[in-house]
Amino acid sequence: MTGIWGIVNVTPDSFSDGGRFLDPSRAIAHGLSLRRDGAAVLDVGGESTRPGAVRIGADEEQRRVLDVVAGLAAEGAPVSIDTLNASTAVAAVAAGARIVNDVSGGLADDDMLAAVAGTGADYVIGHWRGPSDDMYARAEYARPSREVAAELQERVATAAAAGIAPARIILDPGIGFAKTGAQNWEVLRGLDDVIALGSRVLVGTSRKGFLRETLAAASDVEVDEARRDLATAVTSALAARAGAWAVRVHDVAATRDALAVVAAWDG
């Protein structure tokens, strides 16, 4: 069955849950709760990558995340560190993280690929065309799913040349990053193009703006967190059916149930 990654945002400004888990003890408790709900991996992040987000320094990022990573790892939870910074990746792996989740695929920090190669950790290569504060200016595609797959394939080759074996690589099509709402849907419909590259594929649609836009167009009812989590569970279940290795979500329990229903349907 497709694995579920639970999101643990240790940030004041993430678009959905910013500020809720800034205290390390609360973040650790939240992560363990997600683990009990069925999360296979806990993805800890200390810097928001929401649209328009401004970068923070690596020192501040590490101040936010390292105690949380260490605390969750000490409880036996598999931990991923969601970071754009090579120094944070190395420090987090030393604190117990097993995976580095880089939404930029090594493009934000020239030292990232070599740093990850030296840690032995698995590495998530996200599809990325630039920082959050201007990424939508780069959202130009003729065939979105094919172009995303081609750009990810180039990053895989670059990572391999830096010493990261293909078996350690996970691909993320970067839903919400440098893509319009319509382009996000096209990438999801064409997920086979990314899966065909042969790496494990991680899909993250959780509570993202294109889901809100779709739900808002469907009815006049307020698009609250519950509705976005339902939409996330549905898209995650569809991604699983398309062959995704894992999905990354805020509400693990809802997605767990959606995956179970699809598995029962498929027999």
Residues 6+ apart with CB under 8 A from 126: 101, 102, 103, 104, 105, 172, 174, 177
Distance separating alpha carbons of residues 148 and 44, to the nearest angstrom: 25
Residues 6+ apart with CB under 8 A from 150: none
With beta carbons less than 8 A apart as the criterion, state whether 81 and 27 touch. no
Q: DSSP secondary-structure letter at 54?
A: P
DSSP string, 21-33: T-SHHHHHHHHHH
Instruction: Identify whether 248 is a catalytic site residue.
Output: yes
Cα-to-chain-centroid distance, residue 86 = 17
| Selected catalytic residue, list 227, 228, 248, 256 | 248
Bridge partners (DSSP) of residue 100 are 81, 123
Write b or e for each residue in 92-107: b if 16 or more Cβ atoms lie within 10 A of its Cβ, otherwise e. bbebbbbbbbbbbbbb
Instruction: Identify whether 20 is a catalytic site residue.
Output: no
Q: Provide the 3-class DSSP secondary structure of residue 255.
A: helix
| Selected catalytic residue, list 64, 129, 208, 256 | 208
Residues belonging to the chain: 267
Distance separating alpha carbons of residues 187 and 166, to the nearest angstrom: 23
Distance separating alpha carbons of residues 45 and 6, to the nearest angstrom: 11
Q: DSSP secondary-structure letter at 137?
A: G
Known catalytic residues are: 208, 248
